[in-house]
Structure 1
Amino acid sequence: MIKIVGVTACIAGVAHTYMAAENLKKYAKKKGYKIKIETQGAMGIENRLKQSEIDNADIVIFAVDTMVRDADRFEGKKILKVGTSEVVKDGKSTIEKAEAMLNE
């Protein structure tokens, strides 16, 4: 089973942050993948990823329009970077891109 962790964050830290997180979860679960998403929004960091979750992940998705806070936690991991609106419009494609990166 593929394990995915990710961070979503938009400039305003409101709608797109959470819509992107939900879309990633929806499409990863349809594929049978394990996924956990940390949101970095107006409310601060929510669902903060544990270092063990990051270390055990096969791939990391940054669906962000701004800087990821504490990005050094992800050093050495395969990271797919996309904008939040891309994920909101087409979460399935983002999950497929992550799959492709794993096969590179």
Structure 2
Amino acid sequence: MYIVCVAACPTGVAHTFMAAEALEITGKKRGHDIKVETQGSLGTENEITADDLSRADAVIIAADVAISDKERFEGMIKLECSVSDPIKFGDAVFEAVEQEVANG
């Protein structure tokens, strides 16, 4: 499964990058191809492209602030959670999105 993710926290520093790392590690451990965009104090990094969106089975938005360009995910299977959830409950986040994909 190909899952695109966005991580963003209010200050755009520590939790953004901790969540991005947790999403990558847990996703790969569960056998998924993962791309994580970060939106933080340095701006947007590792931006999700139109090609990524066309390939993606689902999106995880781990954010405690409004993210830029959220409308690009319209019509996709989407899980929204707190930026801390992938850090604390990584497997549960992926189990939830896997369940959503399985249920179509």
Q: TM-score, normalised by structure 2?
A: 0.95
Q: How does 1:47-62 map to 2 (within 5 A)?
A: 47-62=46-61
State the distance in 2 between where 1:41 and 1:34 align.
Answer: 23
Q: Residue 10 of structure 1: CA displacement?
A: 0.4
State the distance in 1 between where 2:16 and 2:92 align.
Answer: 17
Q: TM-score, normalised by structure 1?
A: 0.95
Aligned residue for 1:90, secondary structure, equals helix
Q: Which residue of 2 aligns with 1:84?
A: 83
Q: Residue 38 of structure 1: CA displacement?
A: 0.2
Aligned residue for 1:93, secondary structure, equals helix
Q: Aligned residues: percent identity?
A: 43
State the distance in 1 between where 2:54 and 2:79 align.
Answer: 16
Structure 1 residue runs without a partner (length 5+): none
Q: Which residue of 2 aligns with 1:96?
A: 95
Q: How does 1:1-104 map to 2 (within 5 A)?
A: 2-104=1-103
Q: Residue 68 of structure 1: CA displacement?
A: 1.3
Aligned residue for 2:84, secondary structure, equals helix
State the distance in 1 between where 2:45 and 2:69 align.
Answer: 13
State the distance in 1 between where 2:90 and 2:21 align.
Answer: 9
Structure 2 residue runs without a partner (length 5+): none
State the distance in 2 between where 1:61 and 1:92 align.
Answer: 13
Q: Residue 91 of structure 1: CA displacement?
A: 1.2
Q: Contact 1:20 / 1:91 at 8 angstroms: preserved in 2?
A: no
List 4+ stretches of structure 1 deviating above 6 A.
Answer: none
Q: Residue 64 of structure 1: CA displacement?
A: 0.4
Count of residue correspondences: 103
Q: Contact 1:38 / 1:48 at 8 angstroms: preserved in 2?
A: yes
Q: Residue 6 of structure 1: CA displacement?
A: 0.7
